[in-house]
Amino acid sequence: MYKTNINLEEMSQKEAIEFLHETVQPEIGSIPAYLLGDPTIYDLEHKRVFLKTWIFIGHESEIPNKNDFITRDVAGYSVILSRSADNQIRGLYNMCTHRGMKLCRADAGNKSSFTCPYHGFNFKNNGDCVGVPLQKDIYGESLDKSQMGLHKIRVESYKGLIFGTWNDEAESLDAFLGEFKWYIDIFAGRAEMEVVGPPQRFVIQSNWKIGADNFVGDSYHTMVTHGSIAKLGMVPSATYSKRGYQIHTTNGHGLNLGTPNPDFAFPEELKDEYKANLSEDQYEVLSNLKNMIGNIFPNLSFLISHTKIKGQLISNTSMRIWRPIAADKMEVITWFLVEKNASVDWKKRSRESFILTFSPSGIFEQDDTEVFTDITAAASGTMPLVKQLTFNYTMGLHRKPVTSFVGPGVVYDDKFTEANQRNFYRYWLDLMTN
Amino acid sequence: MTIERMLVTYEFEQWLYREAKLIDDIDFDGWFSLMHPTLKYQMPVRVNKEGTERPDYALDMFAFDDDIELLKIRVDRLKTDYAWAEIPPSRTRRLVNNVRLLDYVPNEKAVVNSYLLIYRSRSTDIHHDLISGERQDEFIYENGEWKLSKRFFIVDQTTINTRNLAIFV
């Protein structure tokens, strides 16, 4: 078993893929540690996961008006997401087509065109090249501006969530999300939702998959990692996190649905809006929801959390991406969402609860990041690879899914299983090896 | 500058130095006792603007947005046995300088701005985190003492380069 000569860097791509097939075994609940720290895996992931699949860019409410734009990173490349005068949302590669300079350095704004700081080429926010300084004088009739438009990224959205992909052959976003849309409806489509403020950003020395793994299926850690929250009386008991369902669908998506809840976790006065946007079954799930924690493959995690703060129950809805920067480093970008038609008081208290629990200062958030950092450090380097250290993902392998639940997907009737992580890694392995 | 103003500036410098010492020594109860019940404790999200438009921070999103009750929850949490983010505690050093007295009414209120640099070291990691920014503080004089009634901390990074804000600013 002990092979000191394992070195992914020296393997051919074919050999590395063969090695992945041999060592990554979600079916039996065995995931090797080296996936969380090896730079060769990180490089392969960039090509085979992040350049292949749909990546979350932003929410439609972040660019509500004509000429609004935001700049975001998609798989390592800066994208201007703009709403042009014809009200269409486009993703433009933030690179001048003349010499490659970055066109826009602001996080957000309102502009109908962008001018390159290098030679002054000017582009409309639909991507068209409309201005070249001294064009006639220096190019004569030879320059065809219609060939100089900005490169575009494929952009599609669902319930206000805008995704992009660099892969022109990728299936539609609709097909990629598939049955998981039933649950996204509850999270992002239950009412008109809006993002409040800019996203919060911070950097952690952690592999991105640990975050995705944590949100897709790890309700088990809540008892211990977040034990302080129960001690403070903000959640019922340390074991509350077991009750509910764990659900996954194809393409690695998964969530944990905390239920039942004796209290309605959302603004009462919006019940009609929820009923108008959801099916009866979806509304029933919403009515009994205590929390909802999940991950849209690969790295968009989402959360509805219901806690008691200052003696009052309040829920908050948020999402985050785990943006890879290196094998052992990621940027966490978090957004807070709220019902647009909620009362001013609800919006204020909901934002307050988000900041207290899941912002960079959040008292849930901060304990997770400590864990993520230490796992990454332990998994990095040569030893975990040559010693073939593995992590145990066998929880719930003996259990059968239930068929009585109203929603789609593979459903287990409590949240303490690792079926979702196995599903995440199964799809990850599919993409990495095909 | 009048002598009186110099003395008052000195007094607030000493107040801020003492505050820094209390949190760097992880005496959270001692630190919390410096706060006024009407406290507003905020850290807005800093953003990248195209040019020189100001303010270049969000008015509607914060990394901290606490009143006295929420700050008490954070302090109480750090005293449970489960606050993993700070077990063991970070070694921090808060360097306060450029202290400027902007407004002052004797025995009533004061507005004091200062610069803050936090050095943070965790566990055996030889790398450290630096958090830099400006504090805009307001004080209320009560029972013979100056209490902090408002802190607005403008951080100098749009992406914060520390694993969490389990520490105070």
Q: Which ipTM score applies to this complex?
A: 0.95
Degrees to nearest 5, angle at CA A325 with A322 and A329: 75
What tens digit of pLDDT does each residue of A77-94 get? 999 999 999 999 999 999
pLDDT-derived band at A379 (thresholds 50, 70, 90) equals very high
pLDDT at B13: 98
Which residue in chain B has the smallest CA separation from A368? Answer: B85
State pTM to two decimals. 0.95
Per the prediction, chain A carries an average pLDDT of: 95
pLDDT-derived band at A277 (thresholds 50, 70, 90) equals very high
Q: Mutation target for B interface from A104, A201, A221: give the one with most B CBs within 10 A.
A: A201
Inspect the interface and report whether the beta carbons of A352 and B63 lie closer than 8 Å. Answer: no
Question: What size, in residues, is chain A?
Answer: 434
Q: How far apart are CA A119 and CA B142, in angstroms?
A: 61
Q: Is B168 touching A (CB cutoff 8 A)?
A: no
Q: Is B61 touching A (CB cutoff 8 A)?
A: yes
Helix (H, G, I), strand (E, B) or coil at B91: strand
Q: How far apart are CA A3 and CA A16, in angstroms?
A: 15
Query: Which residues on B lie below 8 Å from A356 (Cβ)?
Result: 66, 70, 73-74
What letters, b where the CB count within 10 A reaches 16 and e where it falls short, cover A93-124?
Answer: bbbbbeeeeebbebbbbebebbbbeeeebbbb
What tens digit of pLDDT does each residue of A141-189 get? 999 999 999 999 999 999 999 999 999 999 999 999 999 999 999 999 9
Q: How far apart are CA A249 and CA A420, in angstroms?
A: 9
Q: Is A236 touching B (CB cutoff 8 A)?
A: no
Half-sphere exposure of A288 (CA within 13 A, CB side): 13
In this structure, the dihedral spanned by the alpha carbons of residues A267, A272, A278 and A280, taken in order and rounded to 10 degrees, is 110
Strands B109-121 and B128-142: antiparallel
First to last CA, chain B: 29
What tens digit of pLDDT does each residue of A10-44 get? 888 889 899 999 999 999 999 999 999 999 999 99
Inspect the interface and report whether the beta carbons of A107 and B164 lie closer than 8 Å. Answer: no
Task: Please determine, for residue A133, whether its predicted confidence score (pLDDT) is greater than 50.
Answer: yes
Q: How far apart are CA B136 and CA A290, in angstroms?
A: 39
Q: Give the distance from CA B138 to its chain's centroid.
A: 11
Query: Nearest C-alpha of chain A: how many angstroms from B129?
Result: 11
Inspect the interface and report whether the beta carbons of B163 and A225 lie closer than 8 Å. Answer: no
| Type of residue numbered B144 | G
Residue the block writes with tokens 């090797």: A32
- Sheet hosting strand A55-59, strand order edge to edge: A55-59, A161-165, A152-158, A89-93, A77-83, A68-74, A108-110
Query: Which residues on A lie below 8 Å from B83 (Cβ)?
Result: 228, 363, 367
What tens digit of pLDDT does each residue of A338-353 get? 999 999 999 999 999 9
Q: Is B166 touching A (CB cutoff 8 A)?
A: yes
Helix (H, G, I), strand (E, B) or coil at A175: helix
Which of A180, A183, A407 shows the shortest CA–CA distance to A292?
A: A183
Which of left, alpha, beta for B97 (phi over 0: left; psi -120 to 50: alpha)? beta
Query: Nearest C-alpha of chain B: how many angstroms from A316?
Result: 14
Q: Mutation target for B interface from A110, A344, A370: give the one with most B CBs within 10 A.
A: A370
A198 and A326 in contact (C-beta within 8 Å)? no
Q: Which of B80, B158, B163 comes nearest A373 by C-beta?
A: B163
Q: Is A336 touching B (CB cutoff 8 A)?
A: yes
Q: How far apart are CA B16 and CA B8, in angstroms?
A: 12
Query: Which residues on B lie below 8 Å from A200 (Cβ)?
Result: 45, 61, 63, 160
Query: Which residues on A lie below 8 Å from B121 (Cβ)?
Result: none
pLDDT in tens, chain B (169 residues): 899 999 999 999 999 999 999 999 999 999 999 999 999 999 999 999 988 999 999 999 999 999 999 999 999 998 887 788 888 899 999 999 999 999 999 999 999 999 999 999 988 888 899 999 999 999 999 999 999 999 999 999 999 999 889 999 9
Q: Which residues contact A106 (CB under 8 A, 6 or more apart)?
A: A71, B48, B49, B50
pLDDT at A4: 62
pLDDT at A8: 87
Q: How far apart are CA A87 and CA A187, in angstroms?
A: 25
Helix (H, G, I), strand (E, B) or coil at A391: strand
A384 and A391 in contact (C-beta within 8 Å)? no
pLDDT at A1: 46
What tens digit of pLDDT does each residue of A394-427 get? 999 999 999 999 999 999 999 999 999 999 999 9
Q: Is A73 touching B (CB cutoff 8 A)?
A: no
Inspect the interface and report whether the beta carbons of B48 and A106 lie closer than 8 Å. Answer: yes
Query: Nearest C-alpha of chain A: how many angstroms from B109?
Result: 27
Mean pLDDT value of segment A296-305: 98
Query: Nearest C-alpha of chain A: how many angstroms from B156?
Result: 13
Which residue in chain B has the smallest CA separation from A204? Answer: B163
A328 and A376 in contact (C-beta within 8 Å)? yes
Inspect the interface and report whether the beta carbons of B65 and A351 lie closer than 8 Å. Answer: yes
pLDDT at A3: 60
What tens digit of pLDDT does each residue of A215-259 get? 999 988 888 887 777 778 777 776 778 899 999 999 999 999 999
